[in-house]
Amino acid sequence: MTNRAAQICLALFAGLTFSASALAEEVQVAVAANFTAPIQAIAPAFAKATGHTLVAAFGATGQLYAQIQNGAPFEVFLAADASTPAKLESAGLGVAGSRFTYAIGSLVLWSAKADYIDGSAAVLKANQFKHLAIANPKAAPYGLAASQVLDKLGLSAALQSKLVEGQSITQTLQFVSTGNAELGFVALSQVYQDGQLGSGSAWAVPDELYEPIKQDALLLKQGEHNPAASALIEYLKGPQAAAIITSFGYKL
């Protein structure tokens, strides 16, 4: 290859590299706390598949909703319910028609102690513990589901004085994992992966004891013209994301 030809090839390569990097964008995502581990697994796979970078901020769905209303620079919202994204869409803060259910969550009663829960509600009914952790029902859909379970079991009044509330499902998990509460209601995705309980003991709460936790995604108005935001919405609908999401115990 002549020097002139080599220079042309290098110039073309540099141009292609510049074009590819110019197309790569960053997307700011508000993520419900229960979906922390899955989105951390999805982020590198999304980057590899699209070239775009995902930057996530985590919190209770209600807290994230308030931040979006107050102008936080989020472009995609991954909520822990369906009603909150619907409200944002109705208020004109989301792109009409972009909302869809990306996962259906499951609730689990979990203890860091290996033999504390026998795979049933017996430990709740025995009422021999000091503290039961739940997420704030007003801010976190998983906390609302936990309160529904206690109602269905007829235990709300008996256990009210023992409840400790986390502001998010992440804080609720911390209460239990650190021993500040002997047990607590958390998201299945926080303690299971690939069908295995990571540690401790648990009771997978039957679906009929709480309303389905349909988790909806929404393309926010701030991300309407960001190709990375649109790419993430489409990626979450695809088979690669589905495989990761279901590996954490979610249903589709």
Domain boundaries, the chain: 3-104+213-247, 107-204
What does 156-187 look like in DSSP terms, one character per residue? HHHHGGGEEEESSHHHHHHHHHTTSSSEEEEE
Q: Is-contact 25 222, C-beta < 8 A?
A: no
What is the per-residue pLDDT across 43-55, written as a single tens digit (0 to 9) for each? 999 999 999 999 9
What is the pLDDT at residue 24? 79
Q: How far is CA 34 from CA 88, 140, 144, 172, 209, in A?
A: 20, 9, 13, 10, 19
Q: Does residue 184 register a pLDDT over 70?
A: yes
Residue 30: φ, ψ to 5°:
-90, 120
Q: Does residue 237 register a pLDDT over 90?
A: yes
Q: Does residue 3 register a pLDDT over 70?
A: no
Q: Does residue 66 register a pLDDT over 90?
A: yes
What is the pLDDT at residue 21? 40
What is the pLDDT at residue 23? 66
Residue type, 61: T
What is the pLDDT at residue 11? 40
The number of beta carbons lying within 10 Å of the beta carbon of residue 211 is 12
What is the per-residue pLDDT across 70-83, written as a single tens digit (0 to 9) for each? 999 999 999 999 99
Query: What is the assigned CATH class of domain 107-204?
Result: alpha beta
- Fold match between 3-104+213-247 and 107-204? yes
Q: Which fold has domain 3-104+213-247?
A: D-Maltodextrin-Binding Protein; domain 2 (3.40.190)
- Going by C-alpha positions, the residue among 32, 56, 209, 57 that lies closest to residue 135 is 32
Q: Compute the mean pLDDT over every residue in the chain, rounded to the nearest whole number.
A: 92
What is the per-residue pLDDT across 187-223, written as a single tens digit (0 to 9) for each? 999 999 888 899 999 999 999 999 999 999 999 999 9
What is the per-residue pLDDT across 157-181, written as a single tens digit (0 to 9) for each? 999 999 999 999 999 999 999 999 9
